[in-house]
Amino acid sequence: VDTADDDSADAAGDESVDTAGDDSADETPSRVDDTLGTDEPLLRAIRDVYPDYAFLHDREGRYLDAVLGHQSTPLNCRSDLLGQPVEEVLPPPPAETVLEAIQTVLDTGDAESVTYALDTPAGERIFEGVVTPVTIGTVDRAVLVARDVTDREQRRRALARTEAWTEFALEKTNSLVLI
């Protein structure tokens, strides 16, 4: 997860997230590619197959860094995200949900769950995520880790429809037996 060498975040007026020279960077690495030299292939492999998306945000909701999951989304290009406010990347309802969670997390220090839907060329996709606070150096940031749960949600809705239909059919069957 690299923001130190990315000019697009700096060009957007964002503070650099570079932890070089910061003693805390040795204790809590903020960059997947620089974490543990001998484990780098393992970390890259995990990143490459992990379906979740991770976004680092400042208080105003600007994208400071992103690790995009291996699934296809409308957010396919990391460089297009960096430095952009969430309101310019997501449509109003999800952007408001995410921004409110970011600000709540930074105000309270407690994690927040979020659920939002995005329209994509493949149809509506539903995402669930957790926003957590993180301090990089001395600056408070928020990390959103989100997962596309559309398939699970579609299965849940189909099961609910089947259960409702079954209950209806049983009621009708019982009514016929009583007659």
The 10s digit of each residue's pLDDT in 110-160 is 999 999 999 888 888 999 999 999 999 999 999 999 988 988 777 777 777
- Burial (0-12, 13-18, 19+ Cβ within 10 Å), 171: exposed
161 confidence band (pLDDT: 50, 70, 90): confident
Interval 84-103 mean pLDDT: 95
Number of other CB atoms surrounding residue 152 within 10 Å: 12
Q: Which residue's structure tokens are 């960059």?
A: 31
N- to C-terminal Cα separation, the chain: 69
The torsion region of residue 114 among left (phi > 0), alpha (psi -120 to 50) and beta comes to beta
Q: Which residue's structure tokens are 């259960």?
A: 163
The whole-number pLDDT of residue 34 equals 46
Q: Does residue 127 or residue 42 have the better pLDDT?
A: 127
